[in-house]
């Protein structure tokens, strides 16, 4: 509520919105690398200079609702992230019609990613959360960002109403056709790749820099209390089939079908 009332966006700000565990980290890295590509070198040499070769994407793009940002708003550099639902966004973001990029992912994979994440957050002496309990909380929307489906639909509907201001991306598309989706993202945030960059390997370099392999390696030995490593697990599509029961899959698919009825949206 404090962010909603007090956060002062600028008309030029770009917001990266997502439900937790839907590839926020990847989107942050890509948008940051795209916007800064002329001033930052992507090469990893003996002394790498690009921030994504040494620090976490979460240190490059802050969350508008995080304590560290609220205590130091000068940290913002035109690119911000948020997990806040569309209907609860700070009023200034809507008033200034700021551009928003939303990333979404198959809810079954989100649940599995979320469950692993919560258990990594626990200390060694706490009992791990059971998948049954995580399923219960997730399917009822009883977690800090609320219902996955309502969160996604808020941004999806906004993207239909204002396609020039809200871009809706799906992780599965980004994974399948990374070049096209990254080009789409670059164009939307006002920094399209030109023909030369597409041919000289600049586009591919950005994709490589932000890829799971590079980022998980860079963030492996983080010494922070909440290690940056926690944001990297497998980074694959469809991992949920290895964990969910047939009944859980049916229940989640039913919710998705009902919530997305009449919309050109499927997972």
| C-alpha dist (Å) from residue 240 to 131, 164, 212, 244 | 11, 33, 18, 6
Provide the minimum distance between the beta carbon of 111 and ligand A3P in the complex, in angstroms, as a whole number.
10
**Which residue in 50, 58, 83, 151 is the catalytic one?**
83
Q: Of 18 and 256, which has the nearer Cβ to ligand A3P?
A: 18
Query: Binding residues for ligand A3P, per CB under 6 A?
Result: 18, 20-26, 109, 113, 116, 210-212, 215, 231-235, 239
Q: How far is the CB of 124 from ligand A3P (least distance, A)?
A: 20
Closer residue to ligand A3P in complex, CB, 25/159: 25
Quote the distance between the C-alpha of residue 6 and its chain's center. 23
Task: Using CB positions, name the residue nearest to ligand A3P.
Answer: 235
Backbone angles phi, psi at 211, to 5 degrees: -70, 160
Mark whether 83 is an active-site residue: yes
Segment (H or E) for 204 = helix 202-210
Smaller CB distance to ligand A3P: residue 114 or 188?
A: 114
Q: Which is nearer to ligand A3P, 55 or 94 (CB)?
A: 55
Q: Closest separation between CB of residue 46 and ligand A3P, Å?
A: 24
- Report the nearest approach of ligand A3P to the CB of residue 147 (Å): 16
Which residues are CB-contacts of 247 (< 8 A; sequence separation ≥ 6)? Answer: none
Q: How far is CA 118 from CA 20, 89, 130, 246, in A?
A: 11, 25, 10, 23
- Compute the chain's Rg from CA coordinates: 18
| 3-class secondary structure, 157 | helix
Catalytic residues: 83
């Amino acid at each position: 509520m404090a962010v909603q009332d007090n956060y002062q966006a600028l008309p030029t700000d770009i917001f990266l919105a997502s439900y937790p565990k839907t590839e926020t980290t990847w989107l942050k890295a890509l948008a940051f690398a795209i916007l800064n590509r002329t001033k930052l070198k992507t090469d990893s040499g003996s002394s790498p200079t690009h921030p994504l070769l040494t620090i976490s994407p979460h240190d490059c793009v802050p969350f508008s609702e995080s304590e560290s940002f609220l205590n130091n708003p000068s940290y913002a550099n035109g690119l911000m992230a948020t997990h806040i639902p569309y209907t609860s966004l700070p009023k200034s973001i809507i008033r200034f019609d700021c551009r928003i990029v939303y990333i979404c992912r198959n809810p079954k994979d989100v649940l599995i990613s979320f469950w692993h994440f919560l258990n990594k957050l626990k200390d060694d002496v706490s009992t791990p959360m059971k998948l049954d309990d995580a399923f219960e909380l997730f399917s009822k929307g009883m977690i800090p960002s609320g219902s996955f489906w309502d969160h996604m639909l808020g941004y999806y509907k906004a993207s239909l109403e204002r396609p020039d201001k809200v871009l809706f991306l799906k992780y599965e598309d980004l994974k399948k056709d990374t070049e096209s989706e990254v080009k789409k993202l670059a164009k939307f945030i006002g920094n399209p790749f030109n023909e030369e960059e597409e041919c000289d390997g600049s586009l591919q370099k950005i994709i490589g820099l932000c890829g799971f392999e590079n980022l998980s390696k860079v963030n492996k030995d983080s010494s922070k209390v909440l290690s940056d490593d926690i944001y990297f697990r497998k980074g694959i599509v469809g991992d949920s089939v290895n964990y969910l029961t047939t009944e859980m899959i049916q229940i989640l698919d039913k919710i998705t079908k009902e919530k997305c009825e009449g919309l050109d949206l499927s997972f």
